Amino acid sequence: MAQSHPATIASLRVDELIAAIGSDEVSPGSGAASAVCLALAVACATKAAAISLKHSPDDEALRIAEGQFKALCDQALQAGDRDSAAFERFVQEKTPNAAEHLIRTDEQLGALARQLLVGLDTVKSRIHCVVAGDVMAARTLAQAALVIEQSNVAETRSSGER
């Protein structure tokens, strides 16, 4: 079974991605939505670090965090693409191996979300107050990505189908 939407999540315009997730095609679905939540979280965290660096340009911890956040964004979107492919495989095969592969892809998204939250905790005292809203958005979106990931894993484990 070929992927219904061979374009990567990162290459789709927002309206195209929303239409694809909301379509009657097998994927992308909630795993892609989780990945996009995480990518948006990372973007907000990156902005908070970048703006804070304007106020504290010599802060090496912020500079390191900014670089780590930027890398996480690409990883999140790539994980979403892997999740879409794994879900399509699972729907087609309905095997324990395909289910475990899907669970692993969901868990990778969760690990990335937790990595972002740890990174935010590491620099929280260094973030300038003007970007407090970006940090709040980053945390909330990362937690939403985690909730989606955990729900997908539980559903795959309990029902054998998502």
Q: What is the pLDDT of residues 27-39, one digit of tens each?
A: 889 999 999 999 9
* pLDDT > 90: percent of the chain: 84
What is the distance between the alpha carbons of residues 69 and 75, in angstroms, rounded to a whole number?
10
Q: Which domains does the chain have, with CATH numbers?
A: 11-159 (1.20.120.680)
| 114-141: average pLDDT | 97
What is the distance between the alpha carbons of residues 57 and 6, in angstroms, rounded to a whole number?
41
Q: What is the pLDDT of residues 28-75, one digit of tens each?
A: 899 999 999 999 999 999 999 999 999 999 999 999 999 999 999 999
Q: Higher confidence at residue 44 or residue 159?
A: 44
pLDDT at 69: 96
